[in-house]
């Protein structure tokens, strides 16, 4: 693992990702608390639209190194010893939660087309393909197309807004914790709008900056996840971005499919570790133990669940 902080020449200055204004005030400085790679990354708040975004940020050519096998969405490890079955159940529960959420708004089945932006290992698309018979496509910045089970899935590697699907239109496009990583989120959303079929829906889930766990953890909040997260969205700033991309929300949910307990657990660990990185091999047992112990506190869990936000959109 690279233990040298990125040099200044790898960074670029950028205006606001929503309104393109350059005036901004300091907001916080974050580290890569998850893997412990060195570097301190500054977030600012736009004076016009209030978006919190990373400035300066690593140029696109230099961010790829931060999406290695230690990055949580790309980890190859599947054998967790006696915890393997619980891990597999947790991953399957996450995909089922996504499926339950989208089926509230979209009728899916054979003949329907689904596109997942930031699909990672594409387990969500596999579930849609296997259980509902949809035509599945996915795009990810990192090439994970060698993972097993991707047969029949149109897996693209690269930037979302550069993918040419021709005249193909999608009944559902999903972005599960993808937009906060995007370098040109407005361009991405405009491309998604053009790819929607008549009556199609776009489902976006991102961390929610105006939440309890951010107030609790501050610069150690897992939603910061610097330098991978280029922007931190509140309900207001996410809505502003959607409007500028000519997308109309049909539902706003102050929660998401991703387990908010992870933010509670990881934030506490990041506070203790102070940038040294979270060893997932050692953390998996206390993680699941804590989840079991907190399971009776349903009201508390619902409050913590507001660390996420999900918006269901249609083209205007």
Question: Can you tell me the mean pLDDT for 27-43?
Answer: 95
pTM reported for the whole predicted model = 0.92
The label of the residue with tokens 């407005």 reads: 186
In this structure, are residues 18 and 239 in contact, taking their beta carbons and an 8 Å threshold?
no
Output the pLDDT for position 300.
57
Q: Residue 126 contacts by C-beta under 8 Å, 6 or more apart in sequence?
A: 136, 149, 150, 153
Q: Looking at per-residue confidence, does 185 or 83 come out higher?
A: 185
What is residue 73's predicted lDDT score, i.e. its pLDDT? Answer: 53
Q: b/e per residue, 155-189, with b = 16+ CB within 10 A?
A: bbeebbbebebeeeebbbbbbbbbbbbbbbbbbbb
Phi, psi of 209 (to 5 degrees): -65, -40
Contact 1, 37 (CB under 8 A): yes
Does residue 74 have a pLDDT over 50?
no
The whole-number average pLDDT for the span 103-110 is 96
Residue 124 CA to residue 116 CA, distance in Å, equals 8
Q: Cα separation of 72 and 77, whole Å?
A: 10
- Residue-range domains of the chain with CATH: 8-315 (3.40.50.150)
**Pairing, β 154-157 against β 52-54:** unpaired
Q: What is the pLDDT of residues 184-237, one digit of tens each?
A: 999 999 999 999 999 999 999 999 999 999 999 999 999 999 999 999 999 999
């Amino acid at each position: 693992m690279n233990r040298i902080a990125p040099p200044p020449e790898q960074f670029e200055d950028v205006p606001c990702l929503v309104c393109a204004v350059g005036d901004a005030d300091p907001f916080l400085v974050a580290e890569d608390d998850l893997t412990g790679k060195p570097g301190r990354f500054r977030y600012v708040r736009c004076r016009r639209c209030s978006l919190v975004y990373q400035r300066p940020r690593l140029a696109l050519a230099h961010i790829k190194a931060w999406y290695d096998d230690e990055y949580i969405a790309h980890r190859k490890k599947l054998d967790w010893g006696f915890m393997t079955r619980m891990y597999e159940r947790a991953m399957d529960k996450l995909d089922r939660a996504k499926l339950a959420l989208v089926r509230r708004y979209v009728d899916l089945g054979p003949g329907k087309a689904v596109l997942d932006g930031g699909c990672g290992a594409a387990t969500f698309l596999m579930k849609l393909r296997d259980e509902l018979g949809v035509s599945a496509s996915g795009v990810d910045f990192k090439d994970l197309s060698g993972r097993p089970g991707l047969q029949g899935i149109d897996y693209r590697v690269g930037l979302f807004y550069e993918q040419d699907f021709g005249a193909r239109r999608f009944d559902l496009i999903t972005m599960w914790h993808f937009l906060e990583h995007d370098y040109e989120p407005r361009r991405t959303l405009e491309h998604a709008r053009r790819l929607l079929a008549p009556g199609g829906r776009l489902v976006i889930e991102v961390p929610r900056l105006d939440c309890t766990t951010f107030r609790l953890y501050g610069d150690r909040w897992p939603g910061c996840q610097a330098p991978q997260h280029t922007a931190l969205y509140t309900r207001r700033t996410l809505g502003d971005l959607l409007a500028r991309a000519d997308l109309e929300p049909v539902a706003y949910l102050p929660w998401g499919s991703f387990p908010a307990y992870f933010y509670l657990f990881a934030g506490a660990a990041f506070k203790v570790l102070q940038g040294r990185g979270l060893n997932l091999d050692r953390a998996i047992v206390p993680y699941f133990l804590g989840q079991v112990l907190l399971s009776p506190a349903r009201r508390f869990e619902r409050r913590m669940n507001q660390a996420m936000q999900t918006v269901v959109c249609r083209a205007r």
